[in-house]
């Protein structure tokens, strides 16, 4: 019996030592940061655009990724006028309210997207009850009512708004949208003013695609200068970053030049809609103008059975080079947001050609991080 007690004592003692050593060493080890939000916390926010299924809680697998990896969110579609303000006297805040509640519950930088855009805009916006095009005063009143209602509802909760989306053509001239046709370029200033009045603490951004193009870059810098000269608040420029793998070499240097130019104009840079399409692009001049859609044909959809190794490597390296660039300019870049979470949900599967299999994001069709994620998470500032 005595022997047994001694044995028991020795066992408990040894086991106890083992436990305490383990605990001690766990204490001494520095925790290894292995998520986007931890690794880049001193550099920039990292975010994702959320779709309706994610926001409404019907897609727990991607939401788990978002909660673990990201500290900023953007609504892919549900703050756009066609969804949030479908009729002149009717708003629909159901999805947007849930989106904001999700961001608050997870302590995220919540982005509002977008207040003034010529697409996904309800038909009533530019016509009166008889169907005639409205004039200047009425359009200003409608813009003000729309912006004030939406921004005030989320005052203090949405931290930054894409106030105006895609006002420019590729050559830097103003897009001939109805906003421009009726109000001229004044609509940009007015939109920023109305947003600022509705929430004086919110950050305000101008957002557009192909921002690496020199003429577009110059036009954006001009917009920033004009707004600032008029005392209108503008905090940042959103570079959408819908990139195409085959274009990398021809645009990469210009991405950096645009980051420098916007920083030089005194605003922060947001990389707002990052994805890299690996598929052939039917019209390289289309940028990300979603009004155009090309015909499906098999040659345009080559990777339905998986991505060949060489293409995967090139896509990985594009992401690595981009994140090296973002980290290099982390004093200027405030946020990097992916346009979606996993490959299967990306808009790139359906634009500019419907029904393709693309691989534009960093989480795959099985909701797993792609191997390149580990390489990205090791990038540090020189």
CB neighbourhood size of 269 (10 A): 25
Contact between residue 293 and residue 353 where contact means Cβ atoms under 8 Å apart: yes
Give me the 138-177 binding string for ligand GLA, x by CB under 6 A, dash otherwise: ---------------------------x------------
Q: Annotated catalytic residue: which of 166, 226, 256, 284?
A: 166
The residues, ordered by sequence, that sit 6+ positions from 198 with a Cβ below 8 Å of its Cβ are 147, 148, 151, 152, 155
Size of the site for ligand GLA (CB under 6 A): 8
Does 288 contact ligand GLA by CB under 6 A? yes
Residue nearest ligand GLA, CB atom distance: 347
The least distance separating ligand GLA from the CB of residue 350, rounded to whole angstroms, comes to: 9
260 binds ligand GLA (CB under 6 A): no
The residue whose two tokens read 């916006």 is: 125
Q: Does 273 bind ligand GLA (CB under 6 A)?
A: yes
Closest to ligand GLA by CB, 284 vs 331, is: 284
Q: How far is the CB of 209 from ligand GLA (least distance, A)?
A: 6
334 is a contact residue toward ligand GLA (CB under 6 A): no
Q: Kindly tell me which residue out of 134, 140, 251, 290 binds ligand GLA, with binding defined by CB under 6 A.
A: 290
Site for ligand GLA in 180-239 (CB under 6 A): 209
273 is a catalytic site residue: yes
Quick one: 132 or 291, whose CB is closer to ligand GLA?
291
Task: Please identify, using beta-carbon distances, which residue of 103 and 112 lies nearer to ligand GLA.
Answer: 112
Q: Among residues 101, 82, 100, 102, which one has the least CA distance to residue 92?
A: 82
SS3 268: strand
Name residue, tokens 């005639």: 132
Is 288 or 377 the residue whose CB approaches ligand GLA more closely?
A: 288
Least Å distance between CB 339 and ligand GLA? 6
In the complex, least distance from residue 70 CB atom to ligand GLA, rounded to whole angstroms: 17
Q: Which of 181, 273, 295, 309 is catalytic?
A: 273
70-129 binders of ligand GLA (CB under 6 A) = 113
Q: How many helices (H) and strands (E) does the chain have?
A: 13, 9
Cβ proximity to ligand GLA: between 43 and 273 the closer is 273
**Does 311 contact ligand GLA by CB under 6 A?**
no
Asked if residue 275 binds ligand GLA (CB under 6 A), the reply is: no
Give the C-alpha separation, 364 to 299, whole Å. 23
In this structure, the dihedral spanned by the alpha carbons of residues 150, 152, 156 and 161, taken in order and rounded to 10 degrees, is 40
User: In sequence order, which residues have a C-beta less than 8 Å from that of residue 275 and are 6 or more positions away?
Assistant: 241, 242, 243, 338, 339, 340, 346, 348, 360, 361
Does residue 240 interact with ligand GLA by CB under 6 A?
A: yes
Say which DSSP state 382 is in: -
First-to-last alpha carbon distance for the chain, in angstroms, is 66
**Shortest Cβ distance from residue 86 to ligand GLA (Å)?**
17
| Token pair belonging to 173 | 């001239």
- Give me the DSSP letters along 301-331: -TTTT---HHHHHHHHHHHHHHHHHHHHTTT
Residue 50 host element (H or E): strand 45-50
CB of 165 vs ligand GLA, minimal distance in Å: 5
Residues 6+ apart with CB under 8 A from 354: 293, 296
**Please, what is the minimum distance in Å from the beta carbon of residue 121 to ligand GLA?**
12
Q: Which residues bind ligand GLA (CB under 6 A)?
A: 113, 165, 209, 240, 273, 288, 290, 347
Residues serving a catalytic function are 166, 273
């Amino acid at each position: 019996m005595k022997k047994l007690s001694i044995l028991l004592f020795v066992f408990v003692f040894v086991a106890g030592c083992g436990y305490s050593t383990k605990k001690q060493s766990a204490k001494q080890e520095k925790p290894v940061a292995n998520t986007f939000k931890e690794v880049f916390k001193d550099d920039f926010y990292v975010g994702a655009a959320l779709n309706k299924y994610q926001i409404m809680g019907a897609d727990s697998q991607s939401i788990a990724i978002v909660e673990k990896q990201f500290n900023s969110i953007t609504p892919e579609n549900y703050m756009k006028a066609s969804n949030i303000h479908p009729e002149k006297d009717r708003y629909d805040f159901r999805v947007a309210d849930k989106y904001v509640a999700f961001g608050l519950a997870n302590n995220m930088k919540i982005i509002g997207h977008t207040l003034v855009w010529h697409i996904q805009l309800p038909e009533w916006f530019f016509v009166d009850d008889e169907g005639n095009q409205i004039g200047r005063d009425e359009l200003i009143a409608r813009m003000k009512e729309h912006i004030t209602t939406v921004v005030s509802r989320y005052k203090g909760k949405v931290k930054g708004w894409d106030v105006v989306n895609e006002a420019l053509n590729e050559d830097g001239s103003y897009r001939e949208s109805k906003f421009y046709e009726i109000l001229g370029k004044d609509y940009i200033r007015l939109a920023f003013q109305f947003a600022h009045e509705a929430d004086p603490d919110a950050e305000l951004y101008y957002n557009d695609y192909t921002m690496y193009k020199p003429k577009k870059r110059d036009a954006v810098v001009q917009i920033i200068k004009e707004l600032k000269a008029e005392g209108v608040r503008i905090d940042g420029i959103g570079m959408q970053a819908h990139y195409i793998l085959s274009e990398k070499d021809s645009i990469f240097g210009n991405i950096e030049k645009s980051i420098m130019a916007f920083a030089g104009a005194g605003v922060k840079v947001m990389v707002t809609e990052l994805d890299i399409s690996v598929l052939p692009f039917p019209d390289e001049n289309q940028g990300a103008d979603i009004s155009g859609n090309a015909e499906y044909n098999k040659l345009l959809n080559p990777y339905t059975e998986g991505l060949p190794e060489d293409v995967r490597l090139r896509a990985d390296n594009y992401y690595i080079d981009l994140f090296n660039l973002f980290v290099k300019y982390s004093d200027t870049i405030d946020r990097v947001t992916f346009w979606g979470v996993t490959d299967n949900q990306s808009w790139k599967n359906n634009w500019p050609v419907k029904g393709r299999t693309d691989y534009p994001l960093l989480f795959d069709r099985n909701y797993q991080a792609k191997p390149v994620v580990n390489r990205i998470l090791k990038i540090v500032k020189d």
